[in-house]
Amino acid sequence: MTQEFHFDIAATDSAARTGVITTPRGKIRTPAFMPVGTAATVKAMHPEAVKALGADIVLSNTYHLMLRPGAERIAALGGLHQFMNWPGPILTDSGGFQVMSLAKLRKLDENGVTFQSHIDGARHVLTPERSMEIQDLLGADIQMQFDECVKLPCAEAEARRAMLLSLRWAERSKKAFAQKPGRALFGIVQGGASEALRLESARALVDMDFQGYALGGLAVGEPQEVMLAMIDCAAPHLPTAKPRYLMGVGSPDDLVESVRRGIDMFDCVMPTRAGRHGLAYTRAGKLNLRNACHADDPAPVDRESANAVTRTYSRAYLHHLVKSGEILGMMLLTEINLAYYQDLMAGLRAAIAARRLDEFCAQTKEGWRGS
Ligand SMILES: CC#C[C@H]1NC(N)=Nc2cc3[nH]c(NC)nc3cc21
């Protein structure tokens, strides 16, 4: 097994790329969708099932795991892979976004963020150095720099202040990063909806030289065309040979349009969260199984699906489970949605390799129009 981290692009179709990221814990086929495993679990899914659906890598979170059960405890138990029974690659987010969105009584200064846990109110401090230490204790294969995630949208001056602080924290993250064989550290391009700030951030991070680059602070309520414009602005200034990761994105249409613009990695809570709320993502678009129109429908979600759950369980049964608040409803719909997301990514990879991406995207979107 290799002890290196490297990205090999196998084919391109316009700006889109397909390839493989090789890590000591396994290969990641790109474009890749990472199921979100925030608290060391992809909610409602056995890890074996997550793997069987086609996921090569999962995401977990520094913020949640430092609060409970604790990074040192996970390290003492053999690290996150052993703890959650996921032997494949794991990417950990660095905590900045979750501190902004979840923690109470946050105080931010040049050193880092002091905050109170949303779980028990305990006081914690996150700095670039502590975030790197936690991600190292977890044993993450891909670690993210610690950054300031200012609430967006915001004034350009505020976005610039946060972007510049995040650049200084990127330097400190890189300095504190325990470069163990095969481990990677990604920088995070900031800058809100400002092309100038995005360019400034991208260029500064590239000069620091990371193993991969993420785009953060998008899909936070801005129109899709603004998000896509930021990708068009930043992606060409990121090294072609390194992975590009769009954080927290997105809907199936977001994935398609971002892959076309050269994004290689994604994570999003949509498929898992929507599944727990009775919503199914399918080739024909979205299906709300809470809707009474499904109460007597014996048809499965998609009889052509490669996934057995999608192909066999009736809409009437799924409707019943969802309306009854049964745990099995969450499990089945989470599987249906992750299966669809992974099948979409597999289709995108194959289409790029065959240099027929435009045709694939047109066919895929035509299918959604059926909904
Ligand atoms: C500004 C910024 C930024 C990014 N910084 C870090 N560390 N994690 C993120 C996680 C995200 N999830 C979503 N969901 C829409 N957007 C995200 C953006 C970030």
pLDDT recorded at residue 103: 87
What is the predicted pLDDT for the residue at 371?
53
Q: In what order do the strands lie in the sheet with 6-13?
A: 6-13, 16-23, 26-30
pTM of model > 0.95: yes
Question: Rounded to 5, what percent of the chain is helix, strand, coil?
Answer: 45, 20, 35
In the block, residue with structure tokens 């995070």: 188
**Catalytic pick among 93, 136, 147, 264:** 93
What are the CA-CA distances from residue 211 to residues 9, 31, 143, 182 (Å)?
A: 15, 17, 10, 10
Instruction: Ligand 1 pocket test: pick from 247, 251, 266, 270 the residue with the most ligand atoms within 8 Å of its Cβ.
Output: 247
- Rounded to an integer, what distance in angstroms lies between the CA atom of residue 335 and that of residue 271? 9
User: Which residue's alpha carbon is nearest to atom 19 within ligand 1?
Assistant: 216
Beta strand ranges found along the chain (DSSP E): 6-13, 16-23, 26-30, 32-34, 58-61, 90-93, 104-108, 113-116, 123-126, 142-144, 184-189, 212-215, 244-246, 265-267, 279-282, 285-288
**Minimum-distance ligand 1 atom for the alpha carbon of 214:** 4
CA distance 280 to 67: 32
Q: Which pair of tokens denotes residue 355?
A: 């240099």
- pLDDT by residue for the chain (371 residues), tens only, comes to 678 999 999 999 999 999 999 999 999 999 999 999 999 999 999 999 999 999 999 999 999 999 999 999 999 999 999 999 999 999 999 999 999 999 888 999 999 999 999 999 999 999 999 999 999 999 999 999 999 998 888 999 999 999 999 999 999 999 999 989 999 999 999 999 999 999 999 999 999 999 999 999 999 989 999 999 999 999 999 999 999 999 999 999 999 999 999 999 999 999 999 999 999 999 999 999 999 999 999 999 999 999 999 999 999 999 999 999 999 999 999 999 999 999 999 999 999 999 999 999 999 999 999 65
Q: Token pair 């991969």 is at which residue?
A: 212
Residues sharing a CB contact under 8 Å with residue 47, sequence separation 6 or more, in sequence order: 41, 58, 84, 85, 86
Q: How far away, in angstroms, is 272 Cα from ligand 1 center?
A: 17
Q: Which residues line ligand 1 (CB under 6 A)?
A: 93-94, 96-97, 144, 147, 149, 188, 190, 216-217, 219-220, 247-248
In this predicted structure, what is the pLDDT of residue 3? 86
Q: C-alpha distances in angstroms, 259 versus 100, 178, 231, 357?
A: 28, 31, 10, 10
DSSP codes of every residue in 214-231: EE-S-SSSS-HHHHHHHH
Phi, psi for 114 (deg, rounded to 5): -100, 135
234 neighbors 189 (Cβ within 8 angstroms): yes
CA torsion sign, 319 to 320 to 326 to 327?
Answer: negative
Instruction: Tell me how far the alpha carbon of residue 94 lies from the centroid of ligand 1, in angstroms.
Output: 10
Q: Which residue's CA is the nearest one to ligand 1's atom 1?
A: 217
**Would you give the DSSP letter of residue 300?**
B
Give the Cα separation of 123 and 45 in Å (integer). Answer: 32
Distance 349 CA to ligand 1 centre (A): 25
In degrees rounded to 5, what are phi and psi of residue 23?
A: -130, 165
Adjacent-strand bridge partners of 13? 16
Which ligand 1 atom sits nearest the alpha carbon of residue 94? 7
Task: Supply the angle between the helices 327-353 and 252-260 in degrees, to the nearest 10.
Answer: 20
Task: State residue 363's pLDDT score.
Answer: 98
Q: Which of 99, 81, 88 is nearest to 55 (CA)?
A: 88
How far, in Å, from the CA of 212 to the mean position of ligand 1?
15
Beta-carbon contacts of 187 under 8 Å, excluding residues fewer than 6 positions away, are: 145, 170, 174, 205, 208, 210, 212, 213, 214
CA distances from residue 33 to 10, 26, 93, 124, 265 in whole angstroms, order as listed:
18, 15, 15, 31, 6
Minimal-distance CA residue to ligand 1 atom 3: 216
Q: Could you say which of 56, 141, 264, 267 is catalytic?
A: 267
Is 147 annotated as catalytic? no
Q: Whose CA is nearest to atom 4 of ligand 1?
A: 216
Let me know if 267 is a catalytic residue.
yes
The residue whose CA is least distant from atom 13 of ligand 1 is: 248
Q: Classify the complex by whether its ipTM is higher than 0.85, answering yes or no.
A: yes
Determine the distance separating the centroid of ligand 1 and the alpha carbon of 192, expressed in angstroms.
Answer: 11
Q: How far is the CA of 246 from the centre of ligand 1 (A)?
A: 9
339 Cα to the center of ligand 1, angstroms: 24
Question: Hey, whose CA ends up nearest to atom 15 of ligand 1?
Answer: 248
- 246: nearest Cα among 201, 202, 215: 215
Pocket test for ligand 1, best of 59, 98, 99, 149 (most atoms within 8 A of CB): 149
Q: How many residues does the chain have?
A: 371
What order do you get walking across the sheet with 90-93 strand by strand?
32-34, 265-267, 244-246, 212-215, 184-189, 142-144, 90-93, 58-61
- Nearest CA owner, ligand 1 atom 14: 248
